[in-house]
Amino acid sequence: MSSELLFSLLIFAPLVGFAFNGLLGKKLGGHLYPGVIASVASFISFVASVGLFQLVSEQPEQAKYLVIHAFDWMQVGTFRLPVQFLIDPLSSIMILVITGVGTLIHIFSIGYMAEDPGIAKYFSYLNFFLFNMLILVTGDSLPLLFVGWEGVGLCSYLLIGFWYEDHEKAEAGMKAFIVNRVGDAAFLLGMFVLYSHFGTLNLLELNSLAPKEAIWNWLDPITIGTLLLFVGVTGKSAQVPLYVWLPDAMAGPTPVSALIHAATMVTAGVYMMVRLSYLYTAAPYTMIVVAAIGLLTAVLAATMGIVQWDIKKVLAYSTVSQLGYMVFACGVGAFSAAFFHLVTHAFFKALMFLGAGSVIYGMHHQQDIREMGGLNKRMPLTYWTFMIGWLSIIGLPPFSGFFSKDEIKWFALASDRGGNWIFWGLAWVGSLLTTFYMTRLMAYTFWRDKKYSADHQPHESPWVMTVPLMILAFLAATGGFLGIPHAIAQILPGHPNHWLEHWLKPVISLPTIKQGITVEYEWLLMGLSVVGSFTVAMVTRYLYLNRIDLIDRTRERFEVIHKVWVHKYYVDAFYQKYFVENLVLSSRDLWRYVDVGVIDRLVNKIADVTKELGRGFAWLQSGNMQNYAFITIIGLIIFVLFLFKG
């Protein structure tokens, strides 16, 4: 099958599903038909992505890419922008993740959304999201990438506010939309700067034109352009200071959180930086900013996750933190490690969000973990799959999170693009905080004695929800073997290579190790990570099951810190007071003095003058024939006098 046909199936299958459910889904009746149609459309895309991956793998080592030209978008002078798509080692993995995980989430949604009257609209939006996400990762230029970038932002807004009758949920969708527009404005400016410097916005050409030597200049167009693009990343991938929308985005249906706000859309910023890795490595000042923001986000979000009681909010702050690790990895030049964690995170975080959805479904829509407990016995399939996700995210071997998170921490020290002990130490502390709050979540939800009432007995979810959980659990358990660390590979039979790093080698800038950093360092750091996470997990489990009194006393002793974490470092309050409220007040003043005082007054004055003129000439239209004859005679006299005068 040709690449053009496969790509058409990849892109248009979800678009057809979107149109069909949007126009006819509600008329079909029932919840099953819209879900099946949307899931089949997503699965067709997945099959097409497998075929495209196979075609890319058959290409020569230095030419592993397929270019599909659709049509010319615009041409202004010498500027020509085609609608053209690129399937290479990077995008081929992304489309597998998007359509594979996306299909499982579509299937899960059939059960989760079964009783919702807007189910056809819901599946229509999900399919439309897949279409836009595929445009984003396959577009071969920044403008085309930006089309998908805005498209997934629109779908996120629609799905966060899906239950818009609830004012709080509608506000959450609006918050996500507005915050992302701030980042997107900077993204557009970044494109303008790069085009003015390079004369192209084609992704491959931007990488090829990037200087081989680093440019240490804050005012260089490459530094300015990449920084502006990164501001867009802070919005889309929820980094400090534009992370505030993602926790509130949990207002949408839980499968939406799994697909959009954990596995795919929020990683778009990371994907963009990995795609332009050669451009970013040429701007070391940008890399410093990226690393600092990523690490700050990883640690701060982890502290906020410690004090959450909503099961989805815990996972939301965990997502922000893990995105911070991916961004940080890009900042130290470990683009392959960032992408590796993007892939494994899609597996285990989608698993945990869907697991949370299964818990919420089984608990009759209860989301407060204080009202749960003992679910390991009542919901065994959900429990065991969720546990695999937990083991992955806390980084215990041989689960996927161990491989990808440990690789990021390794390059935090070993990378010759800024790696140091401070970075490693902060990344290690962040991972221990992750272990603490995720183990707390497990203890409250599954391990401790039941806290639910007799009227709300939990029950296991139906197979349409548990089968996707089991598939994702398998991927979370085994996905790490895509990137076996070099230290471990050396002692394994056949010395297997880091498959993902080797696969991405033709298209991204790979990290290099500082001199003096030996394999013994890698074993040492790996050991510290595993021992630290295991110890924190066991201590946390013991405390929350046996010494909750000690937890309470500690919280009281450090009440000030606890209060700061509960109020999310007052960032939302700061934005509300100094941006939102001031903007509202300024808008009211603008309306009062400009709209009403100037524009309305001017328009009304023109209307008044027009009415007065109308009244002045109204006698001409009196309907009296004598008046009309008199006016006609006067007109003739003036005309005759004018002729004689001439």
Q: How many domains does the chain have?
A: 3
Q: Are residues 122 and 258 in the same domain?
A: no
What is the Cα 184 distance to its own chain's centre? 13
Whose tokens are 């985005």? That residue is 249
pLDDT of residue 386: 98
DSSP H or E segment with residue 83 = strand 79-87
Task: Name residue 268's amino acid.
Answer: A
What is the Cα 438 distance to its own chain's centre? 21
DSSP H or E segment with residue 86 = strand 79-87
Q: Are residues 384 and 423 in the same domain?
A: yes
Q: Are residues 175 and 222 in the same domain?
A: yes
Domain end marker among 140, 168, 189: 140
Q: Are residues 553 and 576 in the same domain?
A: no
- C-alpha distances in Å from residue 418, one per residue of 276, 334, 414: 19, 10, 9
Judge whether 285 and 223 are in contact, CB under 8 Å: yes
Overall residue count recorded for the chain in this entry? 646
Rounded Cα distance, 112 and 588, in Å: 43
Q: Which of 361, 364, 373 is nearest to 440 (CA)?
A: 373
| pLDDT per residue as tens digits for the range 190-205 | 999 999 999 999 999 9
Helix (H, G, I), strand (E, B) or coil at 166: coil
DSSP 210: S
DSSP H or E segment with residue 440 = helix 421-442
Counts for the chain of helices (H) and strands (E), in that order = 30, 2
Q: Are residues 410 and 513 in the same domain?
A: yes
Q: Are residues 471 and 446 in the same domain?
A: yes
CB atoms within 10 A of CB 572: 15
Q: Which of 144, 146, 153 is nearest to 189 (CA)?
A: 146
Q: Are residues 616 and 548 in the same domain?
A: no
Q: What is the CA radius of gyration of the chain?
A: 30
Task: Name residue 41's amino acid.
Answer: A
CB atoms within 10 A of CB 58: 8
Q: Are residues 386 and 465 in the same domain?
A: yes
DSSP 510: P
Q: Are strands 66-76 and 79-87 parallel, antiparallel or unpaired?
A: antiparallel
User: Residue 246: phi, psi to the nearest 5?
Assistant: -65, -45
Rounded Cα distance, 72 and 80, in Å: 8
- Which residues are within 8 A (CB) of 303 and not within 5 positions of it... i.e. 6 or more apart? 433, 565
pLDDT of residue 645: 66
Task: Name residue 148's amino acid.
Answer: G
Which residues pair with residue 82 across a beta bridge? 72
Rounded Cα distance, 278 and 508, in Å: 7
Domain end marker among 97, 123, 140: 140
Alpha-helix residue ranges (DSSP H) falling in 306-374: 311-331, 335-362
Angle 358-364-367 from CA coordinates, rounded to 5°: 70
User: Residue 24: phi, psi to the nearest 5?
Assistant: -120, -10
Q: Are residues 464 and 505 in the same domain?
A: yes
Q: Which domain holds residue 616?
A: 572-645
Judge whether 470 and 381 are in contact, CB under 8 Å: yes
End-to-end Cα separation, the chain, in angstroms: 87
Say what the pTM is.
0.92
Rounded Cα distance, 609 and 332, in Å: 68
Which positions of the chain have pLDDT values less than 50?
Answer: none
Domain end marker among 83, 114, 140: 140
Which residues pair with residue 74 across a beta bridge? 81
Q: Are residues 135 and 242 in the same domain?
A: no
What is the Cα 638 distance to its own chain's centre? 78
Q: Are residues 308 and 386 in the same domain?
A: yes
Rounded Cα distance, 364 and 370, in Å: 15
Rounded Cα distance, 285 and 527, in Å: 32
Judge whether 413 and 421 are in contact, CB under 8 Å: yes
Q: Are residues 208 and 171 in the same domain?
A: yes
